[in-house]
């Protein structure tokens, strides 16, 4: 293969976890996968990014009811359809409960977009057109979606597509075959199959078989390291991650994971910091190494300014990153940046973005009791945490905290 294929993942926020899994899995086989929360630069506008979608080799659309009622998702679709060969590059992944196969079901989506368009059209009548240039542009987008939604749904329903469960069960065979990777990238495809084996010991056996047939690579040692880490064989994991970097020193997944081994297992904080920084340089739009570096800077180096800068940059990139909101709230609680109103804003924002974010409930409950002296309101967040903590991760600590008049 002469070049690295670019695959864009188009998804709604309701399928964010599925999109993230697909992103992580497909990067294992050397695909250049673009996903909006990873790829938008700090100075880019979302509209400009959407236009760049036309330049990808393939677009994997994760389609459910929320996707078909999302303005941004449908604008992405319209950009794709401007390419004459667009249907050759679209890889539909359709949720099984998404009804797009009858005229009646398609009419319901047409009705939805006609209704949305009509609301804007009626509202804009009361405004002087001179003052509503951008609103008229927005109205035009809704009109375009309405005009194209039926044709799009008909094309999707008539083409071969796959559900997320089937895609995972088949180890992405449909995608890999479609993009022509199956024969040309056999070693990497085999590695992906092995990496997705749930039984860790079986995975180890298959990795041993693999290396007898295929050459070493950064991907092979990365999966070896991850398997060793899952088995808590941290010395082996460190060795394999370091080995992976000898094949590709810019492998950002390896750099991030090795940084965690250095930090949490060996307390080699300078090495961990270096790994996180290299991972960020290699993949500036990936949030995980930024979050890890921010925590390391604040907790080990007491560098609150450095940690704040990391979180500010991440929130500029991803305004809805709940972990960044939760983490930066801690910066605003103490020291030179103390601002309790900002701390509370970010904690509430984290919960608003992800109503099942356990750590944010604990953090906000502590904040209300310790800083606002709102004991009962703080306890109410502890109780909510208990309700959603299905595995009882925080059960013991909450039982103690809820009896206390302090955070």
What does the pLDDT average to over 90-105? 89
What does the pLDDT average to over 245-259? 94
What does the pLDDT average to over 276-291? 92
Distance CA 192, CA 190 (A): 5
b/e per residue 125-138 (b: at least 16 CB within 10 A): eeeeeeebeeeeee
Bridge partners, 33 (sequence order): 7
Give the other-Cβ count within 10 Å of 28's Cβ.
20
H or E element that contains 340: helix 340-353
Distance CA 262, CA 140 (A): 53
Model confidence pLDDT, tens digit, residues 119-178: 999 988 888 877 778 888 889 999 999 999 999 998 888 887 889 999 998 888 888 888
**With contact defined as beta carbons under 8 Å apart, do 49 and 36 qualify?**
yes
Q: Is the pLDDT of residue 42 over 90?
A: no
Top-confidence residue, 50 or 337? 337
Residues 6+ apart with CB under 8 A from 140: none
Phi, psi of 22, rounded to the nearest 5 degrees: -60, -40
Q: Is the pLDDT of residue 41 over 90?
A: no
What count of residues does the chain have?
Answer: 407
Q: Which of 58, 91, 102, 81 is nearest to 161 (CA)?
A: 91
Q: How much is the pLDDT for 174?
A: 84
Distance CA 140, CA 321 (A): 30
Model confidence pLDDT, tens digit, residues 209-230: 999 999 999 999 999 999 999 9
Ordered domains of the chain (ranges, CATH) = 6-169 (3.40.50.10140), 338-407 (1.25.40.10)
| Least-confidence region, from 78-82, 98-102, 240-244, 392-396 | 78-82
Percent of all residues in the chain with a pLDDT value above 70, rounded to a whole number: 92
What does the pLDDT average to over 321-342? 94
Considering the chain, what is the average pLDDT of its residues? 88
Q: Tokens 């044709």 appear where?
A: 151
Q: How much is the pLDDT for 130?
A: 77
Joined tokens for residue 223: 């999966």
pTM, to two decimals: 0.75
Cβ-in-10-Å burial (0-12, 13-18, 19+) of 341 comes to exposed
Bridge-based pairing of strands 58-63 and 6-10 is parallel
**With contact defined as beta carbons under 8 Å apart, do 92 and 63 qualify?**
yes
Percent of all residues in the chain with a pLDDT value above 90, rounded to a whole number: 56
Distance CA 388, CA 155 (A): 40
């Amino acid at each position: 293969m002469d070049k690295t294929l670019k695959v864009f993942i188009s998804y709604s926020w309701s399928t964010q976890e599925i999109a993230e899994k697909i992103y992580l899995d497909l990067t294992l086989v050397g695909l250049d996968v673009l996903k909006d929360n990873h790829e938008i630069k700090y100075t880019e506008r979302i509209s400009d990014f959407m236009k760049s979608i036309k330049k990808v080799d393939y677009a994997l659309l994760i389609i459910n009811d929320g996707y078909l009622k999302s303005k941004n998702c449908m604008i992405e679709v319209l950009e794709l359809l401007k390419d004459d060969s667009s249907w050759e590059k679209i890889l539909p992944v359709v949720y099984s409960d998404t009804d797009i196969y009858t005229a009646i079901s398609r009419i319901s989506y047409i009705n939805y977009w006609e209704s949305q368009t009509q609301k804007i059209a009626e509202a804009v009548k009361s405004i002087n057109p001179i003052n509503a240039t951008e609103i008229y542009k927005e109205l035009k987008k809704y009109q375009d979606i309405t005009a194209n939604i039926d044709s799009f749904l008909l094309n999707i329903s008539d083409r071969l597509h796959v559900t997320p469960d089937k895609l995972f069960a088949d180890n992405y065979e449909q995608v890999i075959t479609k993009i022509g990777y199956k024969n040309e990238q056999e070693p990497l495809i085999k590695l992906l199959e092995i990496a997705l084996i749930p039984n860790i010991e079986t995975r180890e056996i298959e990795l041993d078989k693999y290396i007898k047939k295929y050459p070493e690579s950064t991907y092979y040692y990365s999966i070896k390291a991850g398997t060793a880490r899952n088995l808590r064989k941290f010395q082996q994991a460190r060795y394999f991650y370091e080995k992976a970097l000898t094949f590709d020193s810019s492998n950002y997944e390896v750099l991030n994971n090795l940084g965690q081994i250095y930090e949490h297992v060996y307390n080699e904080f300078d090495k961990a910091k270096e790994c996180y920084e290299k991972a960020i340089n290699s993949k500036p739009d990936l949030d995980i190494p930024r979050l890890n570096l921010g925590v390391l800077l604040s907790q080990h180096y007491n560098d609150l300014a450095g940690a704040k800068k990391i979180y500010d940059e991440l929130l500029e990139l991803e305004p809805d990153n709940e972990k960044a909101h939760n983490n930066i709230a801690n910066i605003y609680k103490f020291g030179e940046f103390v601002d309790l109103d900002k701390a509370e804003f970010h904690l509430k924002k984290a919960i608003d973005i992800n109503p099942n974010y356990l750590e944010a409930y604990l953090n906000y409950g502590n904040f209300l009791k310790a800083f606002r002296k709102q004991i009962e309101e703080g306890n109410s967040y502890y109780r909510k945490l208990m309700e959603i903590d299905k595995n009882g991760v925080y059960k013991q600590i909450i039982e103690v905290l809820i009896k206390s008049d302090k955070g």
